[in-house]
Amino acid sequence: MLLKNAKILAVDDDPDVLVAVKMLLRPEVKEIITEKNPEKILLLLAQKQFDLILLDMNYKSSLNTGNEGIFWLRKIREINKTVAVIMITAYGDIDLAVRSVKEGANDFVLKPWRNERLLETIENCYQQSIAGNKQSTKKTFLKAETSLLGSSEAMQDVLYKIEKIAPTDANILILGENGTGKTEVAKLIHQKSLRNQKAFVHADLGSLTESLFESELFGHKKGAFTDAREDRAGRFESAHEGTLFLDEIGNISLPQQAKLLSVLQNREVTRLGTNAPISIDIRLISATNAPIKEMASQNQYRKDLIYRLNTIEIMLPPLRMRGNDVTLLAEYFMKIYGEKYHKNLVEIDEKAKTKLRQYTFPGNIRELQHSIERAVIMADNQVITARDLDLNSSIETPVIMSQESLTLRIDEIEKSTILKAIERHEGNITKAARELGLTRTALYRRLGKYDI
């Protein structure tokens, strides 16, 4: 039979639909996996190769996009362009279903469907996918941003903001603790931008000495200083027409800030040893874990530079504030390192998951990744147990602030940011939400949370 080797994923938040699909397809296909939470799609695609996905158009989701099916279809297509996708929709959403085909779906079926019609549609789309889906989607996903995998509201807000701002040329400032994924966010924004065919240039400002700062960023002429043996373009020139990512932007001195500000204002650089300015066209993304706004109030950081850096600001939540995302990420890393070390690991037991959830992870995603790698090495059977997790041996610097204090501080920053946005737009919630990169619903939730 045509479908005997097919591996199919069905995603719908209606349990009755999933039961009906499983009963229909189980005798027909090699494997049918059902899932009611669409936010687990990326994890499932990382763990297993599917030939076809049945995807519902609407979910009771925190995304509140009105057409979640389109959102998740795009996510699927970002990591796998060949897997067949069939949209499931009600008759009233048929226009949306037609749009989904334009967005990359192979076909759609209407609820309630006739089983014969559904099987026919699946067979036709499966035939289309067989040739294109031979290559593993896992390798493709590994290039994606694993630290952004998560179903928490905090991460969904971050992903929503990225979707909105990536196609623009707005300067972006990414804030967050070490290990929260700032570099991955910068790369994702570049990938989704109109400059994605050009260079993504990463400059770690924290590693540059005073003497190397100008040479590395702005370039130099041969003979400009003792070791300048040839002409060299700086990071700004190398990123021309692409994206420049300035990491650890909070670590530069006031004189360095002044030089950087001049370049950003004039959109041109002058190599050391010359007087000839060179025009630059870049999209600037910066990141820091330093409280630069507080530093500015103490005259340790230039306010005018901050204005240049953060047309839009993204605050990445620490892992300890992302709820069950820690177990999603742990399972992902378990699969990756299970393959690396040739271990057939299938799950993390409940005691180990509880231990992960209770740990504060001062090193965030990076620490979790290293912890799971150690656990995979130590695991004796197919299951990672609490005994395999040696979380107390972390080499990361402990969090000085208590979790309660840190939560209060982040809440204060967020409340202040919201108030300023609403004030700028004279109470217009729609415009304020757009500036903040939030949906109106998400903004209203925050207004209630802070009694604004």
Same domain, 311 and 325: no
pLDDT value of residue 234: 87
- What is the biggest distance separating any 2 CA atoms in the chain, rounded to whole angstroms? 78
Q: Judging by beta carbons within 10 Å of its beta carbon (0-12, 13-18, 19+), is residue 451 exposed, middle or buried?
A: exposed
On whether residue 398 sits in a domain, the answer given is no
**Is residue 107 domain-resident?**
yes
Same domain, 384 and 409: no
Residue 144 located in a structural domain = no
Mark 122-158 as b/e (b = at least 16 C-beta within 10 Å): beebbeebeeebeeebbebbeebbbbbbbbbeebbbb
Cβ-based neighbours of 73, under 8 Å, separated by 6 or more? 55, 85, 87, 100, 103, 104, 105
| Domain co-membership, 205 together with 266 | yes
Give how far the C-alpha of residue 8 lies from the chain's centroid of Cα atoms, to the nearest Å.
26
Lookup: tokens for 113: 């469907």
Q: Which of 181, 225, 216 is nearest to 366 (CA)?
A: 181
Report yes or no on 291 lying in a domain: yes
Q: Which domain holds residue 377?
A: 319-393
User: CA distances (Å), 159 to each of 37, 321, 444, in order?
Assistant: 17, 16, 18
Whether residues 418 and 372 fall in one domain:
no
Supply the pLDDT for residue 68.
80
Q: Are residues 432 and 337 in the same domain?
A: no
Find, among 3, 52, 62, 91, the residue nearest to 325 by Cα: 62
Residues 176 and 214 in one domain: yes
Q: Are 240 and 282 in contact (CB under 8 A)?
A: yes
Among 256, 289, 315, the domain boundary falls at 315
- Boundary of a domain, candidates 250, 280, 315: 315
Does residue 346 share a domain with residue 310? no
Do residues 4 and 122 lie in contact, with contact meaning Cβ atoms separated by under 8 Å?
no
Instruction: State phi, psi for 66 to the nearest 5 degrees.
Output: 90, -20
What does pLDDT average to in each consecutive run of 10 residues of the chain (452 residues)? 84 90 91 90 83 86 62 86 86 68 83 85 80 42 53 83 89 93 91 90 85 86 80 89 93 90 92 91 94 89 91 91 89 87 86 92 92 91 90 50 50 75 78 75 76 74
Residues 129 and 170 in one domain: no
Residues in the chain: 452
pLDDT at position 362:
92
Q: What CATH number should be reported for the domain holding residue 225?
A: 3.40.50.300
- Do 62 and 82 share a domain, yes or no? yes
CA 160 – CA 154 distance, rounded (Å): 10
Point out the domain boundary residue: 116, 139, 162. Answer: 139
Same domain, 75 and 113: yes
352: domain CATH number is 1.10.8.60
**pLDDT of 402:** 47
As given in the structure block, the two tokens for residue 106 are: 């192979």
Residue 377 falls inside a structural domain: yes
Q: How many domains are there within the chain? A: 4
| pLDDT the model gives residue 342 | 87
Structure tokens at 447: 């207004």
Q: Is the dihedral of CA 210, 216, 218, 224 positive or negative?
A: positive
Residue 279: Cβ-neighbour burial (10 angstroms; 0-12, 13-18, 19+): exposed
Query: Is residue 386 a part of any domain in this protein?
Result: yes
